[in-house]
Amino acid sequence: MAQNEEKQALTHLDEHGNIYMVDVTDRQETLREAIAHAQVRMRPETVKLIAENQIAKGSVLEVAKIAGIMAAKKTPDLIPLCHPLPMTH
């Protein structure tokens, strides 16, 4: 940490260093955006099938979107002290 940076107190620690869930009931909503990136390797013929929506089990891209939404909704289950976040997309 640079000398001119101030240390910020962690909001989820009490004066004894014990953790607790912060009450966010009265906080205003803030716009937050998360963008995920991935690199997936596959054969060119597979890419073509996906692009043409010709995979026998259905749309790979739609299933991926749903999986991303489901994963985002599980964030509070996976990250300690994370509140459930409302989602609009």
Query: Which tops the pLDDT comparison, 10 or 45?
Result: 45
* Whole-number Å distance between alpha carbons of 35 and 31: 13
Q: Is residue 14 part of a domain?
A: no
State pLDDT tens for residues 22-43. Answer: 888 898 888 888 888 889 999 9
Q: Count Cα neighbours of 11 within 13 Å in the Cβ-side half-sphere.
A: 6
Q: What is the total count of domains within the chain?
A: 1
Q: Is residue 49 part of a domain?
A: yes
Q: Is residue 86 part of a domain?
A: no
Name the pTM for this structure: 0.63
Question: What is the average per-residue pLDDT within 51-72?
Answer: 94
What is the span of the domain harbouring residue 48? 44-78
Q: Is residue 2 part of a domain?
A: no
Q: Is residue 3 part of a domain?
A: no
Which tokens hold the place of 73? 């909704």
Q: Is residue 70 part of a domain?
A: yes
Instruction: Specify the residue for token string 């990136």.
Output: 37
Which tokens hold the place of 82? 């994370």
